[in-house]
Structure formats: structure tokens, C-alpha cells
Amino acid sequence: MIEVAEVGPERAGDVVSVIHAGFGAREVLDPPSTATEETVQTVAAALTAHGGLLATADAVPVGALLFEPQGQLLGLRRVSVDPDEQGRGVARALVRRAERVAEERGFEGVLLTARAELPRTVRFWQHLGYAETGREGSLLTLARVLPVRVEAATAEQAQELGRRLAVVLRAGDLVILSGDLGAGKTTFTQGLGGGLDVRGSVTSPTFVISRVHPSLVGGPALVHVDAYRLGGIEELDDLDLDTSLEDAVTVVEWGEGVAEGLADTRLEVRITRARADDTAPVPDGPGPEGDGEEPRDPRTFTFVPVGSRWIGSGLRSALD
């Protein structure tokens, strides 16, 4: 069983041994990696400054990495797996634990560099949702913005989330909403439309499939699509819209598995209910007792950024 723990300078010897084993087994590159030049002293200094992770299997060190903050992102260095342990999920376990550490420390995401001459390594990171944000020679910079989870107990809170998201949206953005019937997708979009200051009342487009709401303030229009009755992305592409998607913020309800191909970068919003057996919609008015309070029916909104667009977007700070 693989276990991953945060470690300090007291485990520098174990960390450096894994770094040497992992990088020493790689093909020689030009220029060569400096990882094998790490010493117990340099690793101990790095662990003292920012910490790191050590993966073990039956108490034997098999993987390691070092942390190095880069602004709002937590940087990863010297990501290493013992060559005898590759293929057992050690690297994936290290990355997922690093992402949890980044979230706990308040970082917006995770950043690292990889060599273009190692396409298998690059594909590994891309498979985990990391996107290229820069390139200097053969050195690629890859990053991922972490998901943001926010609870909304009432319709007003769901709409407020939409208004807060609107602050960071711009023309060309694609937002894909998923959730059970009555989860609050349209309620959330109403708030988003209010935040964008668009014309017209935002209602469910189920029977018309799509609606375009032009901006009242010179900003991007809101294209509101219901993909529930659409068979695939081809039908989305065929929609006769009054505006180009590049000039609008596009929100697709029931878009999971259908709309992802519209853009390389997107924001997936997954709405789940605290009471899975309750199919009542998000309440959009005061409680039935006339006390002026909205009934609580909590939803958890999980915002999953996909692609480099969201690096430095301020998504987490806008929603938290």
C-alpha cells in the first residue's frame, strides 16, 4: 500500500535517495538535469523552506517531491519515483496529495516544469488536467487551477454565486452546468446573467434550446443553452445563434458529455444536493410560513477549471 506524507528536513536523506534513483534512471538530456546533483544538505534546506512529500510502500521510500511556491500557485520540484516502483500509481498519489496540500495552504493551483523531450511525462501531466502555460526552449511550464467547492443553502445564495462568477468571466468563456433535475442550474444562471448585466429575464431554455441575452453595458452577451434534448456537439454547432460564441459567455445546462468540444478551455460547474432523494427545485422565494426566510435546501457547487485560461483568473478569490 502506498502512503504519502508531508515531510521536513529530518527525511532529507530518504527524499534525496529517491530523487537520485528516479532522475538517474532517465535518459540523458541536453542540457542534463541537475537533479542528481542534489545533496542531503540542499534537500534539507528546501524542505525547511517549503516542505515536500515522501511516498512509501511498506515503509520503504518510493517517491518524493519538493514544494516551491510560485505566487498564487504551489510549485512542484524534483517529482521522482523509484524506477522499480513505476506503474504502481506512485506519481499519481504524489500529485493528488500535493493538490490537497495546495488547497489547504490557500493556493489557487499547482505549477511545475517538464522536459519536452519526455513526451510520456508530458502526457501524464496532461492526463491529470495540467495545461501548458509557457515554454522556454525544451522546458515546458504546466499548471492546473484547483476545483473550488462552495455551498449554497438558498436560491439567493445560488444566484449570488453566479453574480460572483460573472466578475471573472470574459467573452469566449464556456461554462458547462451539470446536476440532477431541480439542482439549480437555471437559478445559478440567473445570477450570472445579473452579474453580466444582460438584457431580458433568464429562464430555462428547455423548449427553445437556446437564448441570447445581449449586454446592456457593452460587455459580452450571455448565450444560454439547454443541451438536454441535443444529441451531440454537432447539434450544438448547428444552433442558429444571433452572436458568435467567441463574443459571448456561453452557459450550457445539461452540457456534460456534450459541450466539452466547443472550447479547449472551459469551466465545469457540478451541482449536487445534500438530500439526493429530494427532487424539489431550488426555492426561489420566501418560505411557506410567511416568515420571509427562504427554506434551506443546500447545494454544493463544484467549479472545475479546465485549461490554461483560468491560471491567474482570480476564480478562487471571487468564489470563496
Q: For the CA atoms of 108, 113, 119, 125, what is the dihedral angle to 10 degrees? A: -20
- Same domain, residue pair 124 and 11: yes
Q: Global pTM?
A: 0.83
> Do 66 and 127 sit in the same domain of this protein?
yes
From 145, 169, 190, give the residue that closes a domain.
145
Which stretches of the chain score pLDDT less than 70?
A: 205-208, 229-243, 275-296
Do residues 248 and 101 share a domain? no
Residue ending a domain, choose from 77, 112, 145: 145
State which of 145, 170, 196 marks the end of a domain: 145
The domain that holds 14 is classified in CATH as: 3.40.630.30
* Amino acid occupying residue 252: V
- Its domain, for residue 311, covers 148-319
- The 10s digit of each residue's pLDDT in 285-311 is 433 333 345 556 799 999 999 999 999
Per-residue pLDDT at 236: 58
Determine if residue 177 is left, alpha or beta; phi over 0 gives left, psi from -120 to 50 gives alpha, anything else beta. beta
Please tell me whether residues 68 and 168 are part of one structural domain.
Answer: no
pLDDT one-digit tens code per residue, 260-290: 777 889 999 999 987 655 444 554 443 333 3
Q: What is the 8-class DSSP label of residue 43?
A: H
Q: How far apart are CA 281 and CA 285, in angstroms?
A: 11
Are 52 and 7 within 8 A, CB to CB? Answer: yes
